[in-house]
């Protein structure tokens, strides 16, 4: 690996948990094995069935993890944001990847090989615990997402999404949509048309106000919280 790339990887790892908590020597050694990947919008980073033998860290952009149903419909399981990791299970198991990973915009990811990661875990005892905590939180979020889709109405799902992604710095917080409405609708197990209809209804009833193509102002935050329950 070129020295400039290794320095970039080391500096990047200091920005994101759990790698920001390990000692500098271990982090530098890990950075020496890291591979920087640039993915264009729509490019598949991981195919379903791949065995990448490592995990990924999203540095810039956005990535969706999805599967295709037997009928050919796309089902988004998770949207990965900047600083999030994905495919961690591939660093500890040789099982094929169950989800495909695709960049939804031009993105930069770090690939952390399994061997280098395990060596870092031996040298930094807290790293393994932090990764386990991350995976546990991910599992809880997945179960919560299934519950949302199975037990809540479309209005409740959209209200929960808006409240969960709101920037709460004011009495009327704003939500910046991190993906297209079609992608978000798929994550909520809705059609894009149903998602748009719920947003239109919320706008008519004074819960939200559009702030442009990718932003929504929550004009009745407490009302949306009540709906989301």
- The pLDDT tens digits for 199-226 are 999 999 999 998 877 889 999 998 998 9
Q: Which CATH number fits domain 3-150: 3.40.50.20, 2.160.10.10, 2.60.120.10, 3.40.50.150?
A: 2.60.120.10
Contacts of 9 by beta carbon, 8 Å cutoff, 6+ apart? 1, 31, 32, 34, 36, 110
As a whole-number percent, the residues of the chain with pLDDT over 90 amount to: 51
The pLDDT assigned to 179 comes to 78
Tell me the domain boundaries of the chain.
Answer: 3-150, 153-228
| Residues counted in the chain | 229
Contacts of 85 by beta carbon, 8 Å cutoff, 6+ apart? 55, 56, 57, 58, 134
Q: Can you say whether residue 25 is alpha, beta or left, with left for phi > 0 and alpha for psi between -120 and 50 degrees?
A: alpha
pTM of the model: 0.74
* Region 102-129 average pLDDT: 93
Question: Long-range contacts of range 71-77, CB-CB < 8 Å, 24 or more positions apart?
Answer: 74/186, 75/186, 75/189, 76/183, 76/186, 76/187, 77/142, 77/145, 77/187
- Judged against a pLDDT cut of 50, whether residue 57 lies above it is answered with yes
Domain 153-228 -> CATH class: mainly alpha
Q: Which two tokens stand for residue 207?
A: 């819960």
Alpha-carbon 185 to chain mean position: 15
* Region 180-199 average pLDDT: 87
**Nearest CA among 154, 183, 215 for reference residue 80:** 183
Q: How far apart are CA 135 and CA 86, in angstroms?
A: 10
As a whole-number percent, the residues of the chain with pLDDT over 70 amount to: 97
Question: Which stretch of DSSP H or E encloses residue 7?
Answer: helix 3-13
Buried b / exposed e along 166-175 (16+ C-beta atoms within 10 A): beeeeeebbb
Q: How far apart are CA 117 and CA 114, in angstroms?
A: 5
Q: Can you say whether residue 42 is alpha, beta or left, with left for phi > 0 and alpha for psi between -120 and 50 degrees?
A: left
The pLDDT assigned to 170 comes to 66
Q: Which two tokens stand for residue 110?
A: 């770090």
- The pLDDT tens digits for 69-85 are 777 778 888 889 899 99
Question: Which stretch of DSSP H or E encloses residue 120?
Answer: helix 114-123
């Amino acid at each position: 690996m070129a020295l400039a790339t290794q320095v970039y990887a080391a500096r990047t790892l200091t920005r994101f948990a759990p790698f920001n908590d390990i000692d500098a020597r271990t982090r530098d050694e890990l950075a020496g094995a890291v591979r920087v990947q640039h993915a264009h919008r729509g490019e598949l980073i991981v195919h379903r069935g791949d065995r990448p033998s490592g995990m990924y860290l999203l540095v810039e952009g956005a990535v969706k993890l999805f599967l295709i149903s037997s009928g050919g419909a796309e089902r988004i399981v998770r949207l990965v944001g900047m600083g999030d990791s994905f495919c961690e299970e591939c660093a500890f198991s040789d099982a094929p990847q169950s989800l495909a990973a695709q960049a939804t915009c031009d993105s930069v990811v770090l690939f952390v090989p399994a061997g280098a990661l395990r060596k870092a875990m031996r040298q930094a005892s807290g790293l393994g615990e932090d990764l386990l905590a991350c995976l546990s939180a991910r599992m809880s979020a997945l179960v919560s997402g299934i519950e949302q889709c199975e037990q809540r109405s479309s209005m409740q799902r959209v209200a929960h999404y808006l409240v969960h992604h709101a920037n709460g710095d004011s009495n009327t917080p704003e939500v910046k949509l991190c993906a297209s409405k079609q992608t978000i609708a798929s994550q909520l197990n809705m059609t894009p048309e149903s998602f748009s209809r719920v947003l239109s209804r919320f706008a008519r009833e004074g819960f939200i106000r559009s702030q442009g193509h990718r932003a929504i102002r929550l004009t009745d935050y407490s009302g949306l919280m009540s709906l989301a329950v």
